[in-house]
Structure formats: structure tokens, C-alpha cells
Amino acid sequence: MADQATRAENAALPALRWAEPPEGPVLVLLDQTRLPHEEVELVCTDVHALVAAIRSLAVRGAPLLGLAGAYGVALAAGRGYDVEEAAELLSQARPTAVNLSYGVRRALEAHRKAEPGQAAAAALAEARALHAEDAVASRAMAEHGSRLLGELVPGGGFRLLTHCNTGALVSGGEGTALGVVLAVHRAGGLRRLWVDETRPLLQGARLTAYEAARAGMPYTLLSDNAAGSLFTGGEVDAVLVGADRIAADGSTANKVGTYPLAVLARYHHVPFVVVAPTTTVDLDTPDGASIEVEQRAGSEVTDLAPSPLGTQAYNPAFDVTPPELITAIVTENGVVSPVTAETLAAVCR
């Protein structure tokens, strides 16, 4: 089951937290489908509730899905459920984001290797370790990314364009691409953050704008199809996006609408930078064509844009950007540029 609690205070809620009330352990999620107007928590007491939250996008973003997967295994173990079955359900909840199965696998392996009577504690310890590692990775990516921007765009005063949501709402720390923007902002170097709406579920309008406003960033929201006008007018110094899976050749799956930005950036000679931890790199997926792209319900499109009854909608959750359109990939271990199978594998060692 999943209970709901509404936040009254002004402080931001964590995207995910573990709690242990007297009735048993729970995983508490900030329901991102209710943002920006309501901060409501979902209290998941079982894996079925967590899977439902993942599929509904109440919890989302590649690194955070990895944490949800790991804590989900710990939740099943702590509640006395079938851990192997829970791991399978979690791994299949969303197919494109590789971090989800990675987090599940780490906690499951810890559970399997533990001494009798210590398995639940071992799974939880591994989930917490992954949580801490992701926070460290966020800080490192922010440092690498802000330094890279200084090299790519001398002079500062950055005007940065982003797509979807990549801040603290997707991470155990301060995020991936938006974490870099935040570091630039704190250093006084952010002139303007351009925020794509990110249709059809408006993660940019609802979530990135929410995070930018809380941080006091100078930001402007635009419809996805207005980005070309910004490039034409010379208003974009760099594009920063996250990733849900990076194939071995550097092909990158991210929220649908990312690939057109990469094409625009290349045409207008604007750096296009992907920011993602090495846990998002899947060296077992050889290239972009091998990435399974999640197809979501057409109603997500038709509900946003009222259309005739019975209208069919094409609604891929992601698209894939080939490595030749990517200026650099920023990871916690350093910057990959140029983006090739060799340079990517080197940073993942």
C-alpha cells in the first residue's frame, strides 16, 4: 500500500528516504506527479506500491531509480517478502533506465551473500552505500561540468539550455546536468537557464522550473518547439542534459526531445553536453539501436492536447542521440571527449 502525507513547511522534501516506524520499514517518496503545487509523500510498504510509483513517474530519473531499486530490495527483505520475486518486478518496472536494474542487482547480491539472519540488514546497507556514492558522484560531476563549461565557453555569463529534469529530484545528491547548472549559478556564472517544457508530461515546466526557482536561478521556460528560435538568435551557449542509458559506443538515451536539440546544437556550433554517472553507462549495450525505448500510453499525449475521440498517439518516453552529436559526457570520474567506445570505456574503469 502507499499512504500519502502532505508537506506544510517551506523546506524541500527529499526525493526518497528510508524510514522505520514501529509497524515495519517503509520507503517514502516525494510524489513528483504532484509537483510543483503540492509536496506530497507516498509511503510504500511493499514492492508492488513501489513499482506502481516507478511506472507512474512518482519517482523518476536514472540515478534515483537506481536508489529506488536498491531500497526496494531492502524493503522486501525487511518486510519478509520474496526478495527474488521483488527484484524481478523492480527490474522490469521501466526498461530504458539502466540504473534501476543496477541498483536492484547490487542490493540483491548483498542479500544473497549475507550470513543467515543478516540478509535484510545487508541489503539495506548496500542501498545506503549506493545512496552515499550517488551524492559523491553528483558533487564530482558538478565540479567537472562547471570546469568544462569554462573551457568550452570562455568569458562566463553562461546561457544554458536544458531538457527534462536532472536536479536533486533525480539523485541522491544535487543532480546531474542541473547539478552542474547549480554549481555555475553559485559561482555567479549563470546568466540564464532556458528550460524546455519537456512534453508531454512537462518535467521541465513542473520540476526543473520548481528546482530552479527554489535555487534562485535566473530561468525562463519555453515550449519545446521554441528552442530553434533561441539557437537562431544566438541565445544559447551550451546544452546540458542527463541520460537514462549510455550505450558502449556513447549513444545516449534521454527524455524524448533530446535528439532534436543535439541536431540543432551541432548545426549552430553550440556545445552539447551529457551529464551522467558511470552507473548510467551500460557497456553490455553495444550501440544506440540496441537500447530498448519505453513506449508510454498515448493518453499522456492526447490528454495534454485535446484531440478527437479515438486519436492514436505516438509516445516514446526517450530518444537516442548518437555519439557524433555529443561534445562531451561528464561523469564523476572525468570528462569523455571526444565520445567514442574507447574513451567511454576508459572513464568507466
63 upstream amide cis, omega within 30 of 0: no
Return the SS3 of 246.
strand
Task: Specify the amino acid at residue 257.
Answer: G
User: What is the CA angle 178-181-187, rounded to 5?
Assistant: 145
* φ, ψ for residue 96, nearest 5 deg: -85, -40
Sign of the CA dihedral running 145, 151, 157, 160: negative
Interatomic CA distance for residues 135 and 66, integer angstroms? 13
Q: Which residues pair with 247 in a beta bridge?
A: 282
Look at the block and give the residue holding cell 542487482.
Answer: 105
Which of 7, 75, 1, 86 lies closest to 43, judged by CA?
1
Among 220, 175, 170, CA closest to 195: 220
230 secondary structure, DSSP code? H
Catalytic pick among 46, 237, 244, 282: 244
Catalytic residue flag (residue 237): no
Cell representation of residue 295: 513506449
Beta strand 2-6 with 16-19 is unpaired
Q: Which residues are catalytic?
A: 244
